[in-house]
Amino acid sequence: MIRKFWPSFFLFSALLLPAQELLRGEVRVEQETIYGAYVEEEYPLSNESAYRRALEMAAMFFSAQIYGWSFYYDIGERARGIAEELELSPLGEIRWGDPGLYVTHARFENLVLSAWMDYRPTEAQRRRLDMWKMGSVRTAQAIGYAPLGGPVEISDWLAIRKAALEDSARAALRAMLQGSERNRPKEVTGFICLQSFPTFFVDSGRWAARARFRVEITEIIPFAAY
């Protein structure tokens, strides 16, 4: 049975805003724990808690779309004992309670909340979005992974999603550079943002995030420099 809800504190008419001013994406929240090693204090999640998680995820994804990250990426090389490393530094954040963030449609089905989210950017945020569409910006996509959860590794549900998303950024950068650079670089710096909301699923006992990014490279350092 499908149950549809529009809580009074999230009510919003998307038709009142020009479509071109809105960002939109869908998030899914599991109310029932899908792994056995780690059970949260609230089990299963209440509808209210599921809505809050949906808003927290949407805020994270819209932040990554509008602001993105600066990054330092050391591609690494196993033969030389150099570890692969990606450092991401957020360039801005949309916080809980931001008046531009809304739930526009939501439904509960089989203990899963599926919610469509809208975000109305400010004028300054729209200018940032325009910068991500400049000619030097390229697109890349990949799947990243993170542990399902547990007190030994990562126990915070949002940190798990974030870890999988950041790993997909690493994989996307690696794939993009392999396809565009004749000589394998040592280090790369630049900026990266989400192009659209990622999708999450469980694969071989891990959370997986499939995501598409926009990337601007500012510097490529070859191995010959060392």
CB count in 10 Å sphere of residue 168: 26
pLDDT of residue 40: 54
Write the DSSP symbol of residue 82.
B
Domain regions of the chain by residue span:
2-225
The per-residue pLDDT for 45 is 86
Phi, psi for 165 (deg, rounded to 5):
-65, -45
C-beta contacts of 80-85 below 8 A and 24+ residues apart: 84/170, 84/174
pLDDT per residue rounded down to tens, the chain (226 residues): 334 433 433 333 344 445 457 999 999 998 887 654 455 556 788 999 999 999 999 999 999 999 999 999 998 776 666 778 999 999 999 988 899 999 999 999 999 999 999 999 999 999 999 999 887 899 999 999 998 865 444 458 889 899 999 999 999 999 998 866 566 778 999 999 999 999 999 998 899 999 999 999 999 888 664 5
Residue-level pLDDT at 20: 56
How much is the pLDDT for 77? 72
DSSP code of residue 212: E
User: What is the rounded (10 degree) CA torsion for 100, 207, 193, 28?
Assistant: -20
- State the pTM of this model: 0.83
Alpha helices in 43-201 (DSSP H): 47-66, 123-131, 157-180
